[in-house]
Amino acid sequence: MTRIIVLTGAGISAESGVPTFRGAGGLWEGHRVEDVATPEAFAADPETVQRFYDARRRAVASVAPNPAHHALAALERAIGDDLLVVTQNIDDLHERAGSSRVLHMHGELGRARCAACGERPPVQDDLLPGPPCPACGERMLRPDVVWFGELPYGLDEIDAALAACDVFVAIGTSGAVYPAAGFVLTASALGASTLELNLAESEITPFFAESRLGPASVLVPEWVRELLAAPSRTT
């Protein structure tokens, strides 16, 4: 069976109404993302940062998965453990579409992280004014997101999956942030075929064997249909 890794970025959730980061209309238009998504920015003004993520948590709760998320969930139903979705997104739209094999390498809005004991409890409500950590009782919960300079989650598991995959597909990511931007090079060096699905060319387009331009809500269902129809199940 073909083993597939799908890396998703903000572009897959854009048509659900979740803003992307970079470019026109992006979440951080007018700011360098590298200047605001940092532990230093949180230390300097924790209230503003908590308010920002509380607002995003509420906004994500009011949107729904789109056909791209649903197509990946259908692919998992068809091939099971042979699909791993590695997402840079902190929303839960993959899970709400029905995917269960999802690795959130940049964390999740639906969790907090305790700066005192390291517990990562689920959260649904605002983190302001500051509920206590359910494990240690300290009021030091921060959003469970990975900022610049912090170690992304699951890198060992991702490395092992990249080494074993036959197909690597990146959907709706600008390729501006490492280590995720480098996964295509690792996968292709280890023999996987590579495909990019994006509305526009990205910083890493030249590294893919094939690149298709268009909205994820169209390209992803098309690709999944093609894959499941192909006798050998490759891209």
- Which chain residues interact with ligand BJW by CB under 6 A? 9-11, 14-15, 20-22, 26, 33-34, 37, 88, 90, 106, 145-152, 172-174, 176-179, 198-200, 202, 215-216
Question: Is 106 assigned a catalytic role?
Answer: yes
In the complex, minimum distance from the CB of residue 17 to ligand BJW, in angstroms, rounded to a whole number: 11
* Residue closer to ligand BJW, measured from CB, 173 or 235: 173
User: Distance (Å, rounded) from C-alpha 148 to C-alpha 49?
Assistant: 14
Indicate the residue among 82 and 162 with the shorter CB distance to ligand BJW.
162
Residue 111 and residue 211: Cα distance in Å, rounded? 34
82 and 2 in contact (C-beta within 8 Å)? yes
CB 184 within 8 A of CB 204: yes
Of the residues 69, 70, 94, 106, which is catalytic?
A: 106
| Pick 34 or 40: Cβ nearer ligand BJW | 34
Q: Minimum CB separation from ligand BJW for residue 232, in Å?
A: 27
Q: Cβ of residue 20: shortest distance to ligand BJW, in angstroms?
A: 3
Nearest by Cα to 221 from 11, 75, 14: 75
DSSP state of 83: E
Burial of 167 (0-12, 13-18, 19+ CB in 10 A): buried
CA angle 168, 170, 175 (to 5 degrees): 125
Cβ proximity to ligand BJW, 13 vs 235, nearer residue: 13
Name the residue with the smallest CB distance to ligand BJW.
11
Please give the positions annotated as active site: 106
- Residues at the binding site for substrate are 53, 56
